[in-house]
Structure 1
Amino acid sequence: MNKFLKTTAAVAVMAIASMGMATSQSMAEGKLSVSVALDPGSWDPIDTFLVAWGAVGSNIFDGLTERDTNAKLHPGLATSWEVLDEGVRIRFKLREGVKFHNGEPFNAEAVKFTFDRLLGEIGAKGPQRANYTSVESVEIIDDYTVDFHLTQPDPVLLTKLAGYGAMIVPPKYITEKGEDYFNTHPVGTGPFSFVSYEPKVDLELKANPDYWGDVAKVSELEYRFISELTTAVAELQAGRLDIVEDLPISMLSVVKDDAKLDVVSTAGPTVYGLRFNTRDGITANKDVRKAIVMAVDRSTIIKSLLAGEAEEIASFQSSLSFGYDPELKPLPYNPEEAKKLLKAAGVAPGTEIQIDIRAGKPTFNEVVQAVGAYLQTVGLKAVIKPYENSVFLNDIVPQGKTGALFQQSWGGWTLDYDNTAYLLYHTGQKWNPYGTDAKLDAMLEEQRPMTDVAKREELLKNIAAYVADEALEMPLYGLKAIYGVNKRLEGFVPAPDNRVKLNTVSIKQ
């Protein structure tokens, strides 16, 4: 058994030893209200990997594995796993006595159904399948044992099983109710179950008294979709919200100065940047792209606009990510060199350059305004065009309708650069509307099955360096996960990836 497989097995054994069937506890009364800036539009785990979905979905669904707030992997709906056949088969022992919210039993059939669906025609319509291409099939051994047969070893699979597309879904419920109904009436095995959903308004959940883990300490959980974060903070101050996720930097002092509230933050994997349209216009030229990056003083933006709650990045990953290279430095701020490159490329002073962004993101919008001001100093006229979230995410970017630059934020929730790089740069991926690079594709494909940890890490660093040299994007910063929290809450622990499990949170009576 190679080093990776030994390490994986050891982690599994340690996790299993430390975890058992959690002890249920009586539920307290109380309603917890949380704001989320974006309504994903579907609660089916295979329809999206938006951070907003993960923040909510992680309280409705469970995966075979789960990750704690320290990013450590533990058993979830699987109590143990064993890596076999040099990494191309993984046997999972499943947790017994678990039921879906509709009373349907969780068992091996549910696991097989979940992955047959994810890897079949239904999954092909969504963005999640690319994360699980190493899974060839799931075989039922008995009611509570399944074998995952892989096309090749996948060193990140166990982490992927802890979230998003790998969340286990109920076969009978989906078969009887249909896909469209499931999108808006989700059923999982998690600590909270569905009550009602009004698109773009709210999602109401209630505590699941039969949860296999720690039973929720509040009886109700409400998610309100509030795109204007100033409105969300006002609701927090008024006591109508308990938690505001993605607290904008501009509102930090408002929350800190309120005796009823706390600002809670933690280092996170989420990164922000502007990506280039490499197909059309002046940004099809690599030297022009480099000039645009060099025209912007990212360090000053972080200090002046982000209150130090961020770190400068050279690639589209945070320092928490496997594959992060501390030796890779961003292109330097050098407006004079930028002017020379633009002139050599024949870009006339006053040339307009469109930057497409998501509306309702005040912190990032301020950053983009600063970017536009820097571009003005090298002779480019930035035109900033905001779009409603669903239009931007489902049409403008995937369909390749952007201007020269477009906003990209990425949760990096697997803490592995593969989950970012493959989905952003490989030909044919949803978030890569413009790029076709055979060399980059080959590197991305080569690292995926690698079980030699050191060699794989080196290749991921090479991919980051290649992307930086091609100037496919302007990496801006990695931002901490920042929450505004009412002090009446007890047990709130911030999650780096915004996927906060709220069953351990209680309200002071």
Structure 2
Amino acid sequence: MKKALIAVAVAAVTALALTACGSGGSDTKTTTGASGGPLNIGNFADVTSWDPSLADIGFDGPYLSAVYDPLVSVDGDGKPTPALATSWKVSDDFLKVTMTLRTGVKFSDGEAFDAAAAVKSLDYLKKGARSGEAYENVSKFVAVDDKTLEIDLTKRDDTLLYFMGIGRSWMMAPKAIAAGTLAKTPEGSGPYTLESSSVAGSEYHFKKVANHWDAKQFPFDPLAIYPIQDATARDNAMASGQINVNYADDTALKQAKENNWNVAAKVSGWVGLQFTDRAGEKFKPLGNEKVRQALNYAFDGASILKSVGSGAGAVSNQVFPDGTPGNVKSLNSKYTFSIDKAKSLLADAGYANGFELHMPMSQVFQVWQPVVDQTFGQLGIKVTWDDMQYMDYQKNAPTYPMFVSFLAMDSNPVATVQRMINLPQWFNPTPQVDKFPDVQAQVAKVLSADPSDQTAQIEKLNTLVTGKAWFDVWYQANNSYVSTSNIQITPVTGMMFPTLRQIAVKG
């Protein structure tokens, strides 16, 4: 999925903004009252598409959640919660999910929402270029009756409800799906409708739907979303009162302190080196576990987090998000910084004088390039940087044995297992799990474990791959959000920008 790439872009925007001067100013003019008041969101990117099959989980959440309702939502911990599906039951063999659907809901074009409409949306999402990832293990969707939906699976899938909840179960009007008009004119059953006064790429205005079934969840009126890519411009918009919710860089966090605004933060992605050839099939040194371990010891994650990440994150050597199931706290000190230990391991592996390699580089990663140059220089590793445009990075970076990465993480630990370890992704096209029988066996235990034992099995897998230096994680970086005093945001690891369901009036 592209959300991992988006994490890279956002990290770059944040990092580049660290040198911006803080600006003062009073609390924004568009504050909320007890009943809600205006909500003006400053997003860091324009909507990818109003068509949920083409939209991105990363930053499209605020846009799509305004006009569409999901079958399933998530809470702040990424756990699935009811929405248009009021409840569900998973069969004993894990191959069938039966959902009870909400009744009395209508789409903005007047069509009724029922199980048949849900099937049309889900079939459409399954075929989607981006949304299809959530439904790879689904064989069919069945409308049992008007308010009962059945999802049949080809094999157990513990990530299905999670993916549906973070942005892959938006329900669309059947006629709009058939007409192919969703990308231009969204038709959902959401709490708002897109107004004609909106200016694509600049500002989007929404009208509140009267008598929406979940109106209490969406108290704000009116609603506007402003895509402002430049962080300084976004911070200025917050200071002037144009927006009252902002994706925060260092300047925004300083503004919040000066103005007594609310700050919400949660780890979003890990920063470090992504290895693509752990078996050493194309680049022999990485096939040696001691070399990978040496690289883990060589980078001072705490210092990098402080100097480059402004301390906004958690020092960690693992890819399971801090504070979530599967994360093993003791692993955060697995590779305590030691150049001497790194040199000793390289010598034991037969690379006392280091080695040579090429690595990709793009402007968005240059903030970390000096750290790599300095560290590799101490180890005798000679790196040649192949410069390329940012948009070429996703295509080219995985062809190198390792590359500097900022990869988005997931709240759901099984999703982490699948995306970071087991299944091909753009950043890990050949996982090579089959080259490590102990890892392969433990992955199988995770995917077949009884729910009561699954977290323990995931922790064992995490301990195993971290010990094998499957990655070189320096730290886990936060996503941070600033809001005016009466607005509270609940960040979700797995979403670069929260949906409207995670934005509430602060009591």
TM-score scaled to structure 2, two decimals? 0.77
Moved more, 321-330 or 294-303: 321-330
- Does residue 74 (structure 1) correspond to residue 75 (structure 2)? The answer is no
Matched letter for residue 490 of structure 2: P
Aligned residue among 483, 493, 496 for 2:481: 483
User: Which residue of structure 2 lines up, in the alignment, with residue 494 of structure 1?
Assistant: 490
Matched letter for residue 457 of structure 2: L
SS at match of 2:299: coil
Give the Å deviation of 1:95: 0.7
Give the Å deviation of 1:262: 1.6
Moved more, 223-232 or 265-274: 265-274
Matched letter for residue 210 of structure 2: P
Residues 75-154 of structure 1 aligned to structure 2 (within 5 Å): 75-119=82-126, 122-123=127-128, 125-126=129-130, 128-154=131-157
Give CA deviations for 1:165-205 in whole Å, capped at 9, x if unaligned.
222233221111x2xx4235433322233346766545443
Residues 243-392 of structure 1 aligned to structure 2 (within 5 Å): 243-245=245-247, 247-249=248-250, 251-257=252-258, 259=259, 262-268=261-267, 270-278=269-277, 280-281=282-283, 284-286=286-288, 287-328=290-331, 329-342=333-346, 344-346=349-351, 351=356, 354=359, 356=361, 359=364, 366=367, 369-380=370-381, 391-392=392-393
User: 1: CA distance between counterparts of 2:384 and 2:226?
Assistant: 32
* Change beyond 3 A, Cα 1:200–1:95: same
User: Which residue of structure 2 lines up, in the alignment, with residue 447 of structure 1?
Assistant: 446
Matched letter for residue 232 of structure 2: T
Residues 101-250 of structure 1 aligned to structure 2 (within 5 Å): 101-119=108-126, 122-123=127-128, 125-126=129-130, 128-176=131-179, 178=180, 181-195=181-195, 201-214=202-215, 216-245=218-247, 247-249=248-250
User: 2: CA distance between counterparts of 1:358 and 1:186?
Assistant: 35
Matched letter for residue 432 of structure 1: N
User: 1: CA distance between counterparts of 2:54 and 2:463?
Assistant: 31
Contact kept, 8 Å, 1:263 with 1:482, in 2: the verdict is no
Contact kept, 8 Å, 2:358 with 2:384, in 1: the verdict is yes
SS at match of 2:463: helix
User: 2: CA distance between counterparts of 1:366 and 1:356?
Assistant: 11
Moved more, 462-471 or 95-104: 462-471
Matched letter for residue 463 of structure 1: L
Give the Å deviation of 1:422: 0.8
Matched letter for residue 333 of structure 1: F
User: 2: CA distance between counterparts of 1:365 and 1:208?
Assistant: 46
User: 2: CA distance between counterparts of 1:223 and 1:185?
Assistant: 17
User: 2: CA distance between counterparts of 1:242 and 1:223?
Assistant: 10
User: Which residue of structure 1 lines up, in the alignment, with residue 19 of structure 2?
Assistant: none
SS at match of 1:102: coil
User: 1: CA distance between counterparts of 2:47 and 2:444?
Assistant: 29
Give CA deviations for 1:202-226 in whole Å, capped at 9, x if unaligned.
5443333342202644444333333
Matched letter for residue 495 of structure 1: P
* Change beyond 3 A, Cα 1:357–1:469: farther
Give the Å deviation of 1:479: 3.3
SS at match of 1:41: coil
User: 2: CA distance between counterparts of 1:358 and 1:100?
Assistant: 44
Give the Å deviation of 1:76: 0.6
Give CA deviations for 1:110-162 in whole Å, capped at 9, x if unaligned.
2212222333xx23x33x43433443322211111112223344444433332
Give the Å deviation of 1:499: 1.7
Give the Å deviation of 1:78: 1.4
User: 2: CA distance between counterparts of 1:199 and 1:27?
Assistant: 31
Contact kept, 8 Å, 2:72 with 2:169, in 1: the verdict is no
Give aligned-pair identity as a percent: 21
Give the Å deviation of 1:341: 4.4
Give the Å deviation of 1:405: 0.9
Give the Å deviation of 1:365: 5.9
Q: Give the aligned length.
A: 460
SS at match of 1:54: helix
User: 2: CA distance between counterparts of 1:421 and 1:357?
Assistant: 28
SS at match of 1:146: strand
Contact kept, 8 Å, 2:358 with 2:400, in 1: the verdict is no
User: 1: CA distance between counterparts of 2:252 and 2:372?
Assistant: 21
User: 1: CA distance between counterparts of 2:92 and 2:501?
Assistant: 38
Give the Å deviation of 1:283: 6.2
Give CA deviations for 1:35-78 in whole Å, capped at 9, x if unaligned.
22234633433436542133443333332232234656432101
Matched letter for residue 459 of structure 2: K
Moved more, 375-384 or 92-101: 375-384
User: 2: CA distance between counterparts of 1:168 and 1:350?
Assistant: 53
Matched letter for residue 234 of structure 2: A
Aligned residue among 451, 461, 464 for 2:462: 464
SS at match of 1:163: helix
User: 2: CA distance between counterparts of 1:335 and 1:495?
Assistant: 36
* Change beyond 3 A, Cα 1:416–1:377: same
* Change beyond 3 A, Cα 1:146–1:293: same
Moved more, 139-148 or 456-465: 456-465
Matched letter for residue 414 of structure 2: D
* Change beyond 3 A, Cα 1:375–1:39: farther
Query: Structure 1: any 5+ residue segments left out of the alignment?
Result: 1-25
User: 2: CA distance between counterparts of 1:389 and 1:225?
Assistant: 20
Give CA deviations for 1:352-381 in whole Å, capped at 9, x if unaligned.
65354673xxxx864554444333333346
Query: Structure 2: any 5+ residue segments left out of the alignment?
Result: 1-32
User: 2: CA distance between counterparts of 1:392 and 1:201?
Assistant: 27
